[in-house]
Structure 1
Amino acid sequence: MVGPKRTPLYEEHLAGKAKLIDFGGWEMPVQYAGVITEHHAVRKQAGLFDTSHMGEIDVRGKDALAYVQMLITNDASVLKDGKILYSPMCYPSGGIVDDLLVYRYDLEHFFIVVNASNTDKDYDWMLEQVQDFEVSVDNVSDKYVQLALQGPLAETILQRISNVDLSKIIYYTFTHGEIDGVPCLISRTGYTGEDGFEIYCSPEFGRQIWRKILEIGAKDGVQPIGLGARDTLRFEARLPLYGNELGKEITPLEAGIGFFVKFDKDDFVGKAALQTQKEQGVPRKLVGLEMIGRGIARSHYPLQKNGEEIGFITSGSFSPTLNKNIALGLIRADLAVQGEVLDVLIREKPVQAKIIPSLFYKRG
């Protein structure tokens, strides 16, 4: 029996006394000092994440732009060299294959970052879509370690060991430079609702950079952060998670990310189905919920109104920033009204929750 995969930083997680779990086939740290402690560290100072389990796929060739345009719902033609785009990637049904980041090197070279548990599935899907496009599509995930430094002090800390002016890297752009003397791709992106950077380098240098950032950021309170706080951070900022807010049976319009579906561009996979749904109106909507009764609404708990099932929880937890229990739920569109009170079935017992704005946290 094959065990879970490990990132090149596995030994650092052991040394940091992290609690490890299986996450999508990867043995990853869920926490070090504790989820709430780590959550507050990212909101107030900075936190360092091992995100090396994420997938990286290279697209090259004279039809690279046309191919990427067909693949994703967002408009890659607006990208300039050094810019990054977020987008869903859909099935013909309009359901979501994955959500991803597209980095443009130039007109014939795009670098696509996908979710860890979806890498093989996404790569197979991308290969199927090549058809008559003159492109090469390569899974290059093994060639990278990926780290994320997130939080209000991220730039200050990283600048101490970088040879590029990080203030010149604006949100959703990237450059190449050195971190502690190591050649890296550095992007101003993240998954926490805070400012920060994602760093890509060759696997043999991952442990060096990990240690150096923790060393030079120690006086500022930087901490290693596990998947537990990664989830509460992204959830407060209403950043969707595949398998929760996104999936094969959920469209971008239902998930509340319709802004990233550009109907005015040429054809893309899923366009016809999404156009029909837009015209007819979405049957379900994603809403924010605050628990009125006691209890935490967990993913896939049923949601009811007057005893009738009207949807389900996609994500739910205690919010360390807001100090309350909150959730996201996918429900019948006609009931998605601010202030509406619903019932969450927690261990088959109805517990009241109220619909509130779903952007629970916004920095600044």
Structure 2
Amino acid sequence: MDGLLCYCRAGFEPELAGELSDRAAEAGFAGYARTERDSGHVVYACEDADGLSRALPWASLIFARQKLRLLADLRGLDPRDRIAPMLGALQGRARFGTLVMEHPDSDAAKPLAGLARSLGNALRPALRKAGLLSAQDDARLPRLHVCFVSGDHALLAASDPADSAPWPLGIPRLRMHADAPSRSALKLEEALLVLLDEGERRRLLRDGMRAADLGAAPGGWTWVLTRHGLRVQSIDNGPLRQHVLDTGLVEHLRADGFSWQPAQALDWMVCDMVEQPRRVAERMATWLREGWCRHAIFNLKLPMKKRWQETRLCLDLFAAQAGEPLAIRAKQLYHDREEITVFATR
């Protein structure tokens, strides 16, 4: 089968399938999505998978944690020898630089972690002997992914290091810091890691920059910004954790995040308020249109139904109302739940 293999949050397969289907059709590629609810992955079958992959960069996909080029769909694998069919399916392929053994991030697939790990130890030398894997990990070459869907079913896929997530399963492993005021801090940490590249993080997050955090309490996102040296106006009628205020970088203003506006232009605005996504999109657009900030990261809480359609509507609404050309990137992050995270810069 030719096509793409994409990983997603379990339960969001219909949203990812809808996104891939719509985006492929708009780019002029015929194909179809195949998935099961709560499987944590979607296969998009397409005759010109290489062309489709180029048309749909990983960074542009919202519900895909990872984007891979599907190479083989191996079913009915014999537990006594899973390696021979894999070598056979890869015969004639160019050499890979790294082997990644994984499974979808779903309840059904998590018990396969041990199998993937142990088989990887045997598969690596077999691949090297066959000339299919470099003697040492080589980050310049495509990565080979072996994704176990079940004990006798594996998907073989490849990733371009320049057009895919660098983390297994597309999930950056972040640890909850002891001083973080709330788990929501992980959402902003992941957003800065996934939605900005290394150069942008150095350039756009510098000591002394000024930011606003709308709906800040108890201070998780404010805390992350202060760790980058930003001075933050934290807008919320609720209280902030005292150690966040003790940084000396935070001014807590008890006000409504939907009506407050800064006295002068800021570098950043971040927002994780629980509100209807269209209302949030419109307010965020106002901030960019009026020049109140240069860069923004905000969350859009999605409804229970038609989430892909609502996502498109809200992002189109935001872009239209912002009133000037913006770079806009959006992802459903690992630490997101029923929401997506958006980065926008003027």
Instruction: Give the shorter-chain TM-score range.
Output: under 0.3
Higher RCO (Cα < 8 Å, 6 or more apart): 1
TM-score (norm. length: structure 2): 0.25
Higher strand share goes to which structure?
Answer: 1
Higher helix share goes to which structure?
Answer: 2
TM-score (norm. length: structure 1): 0.24
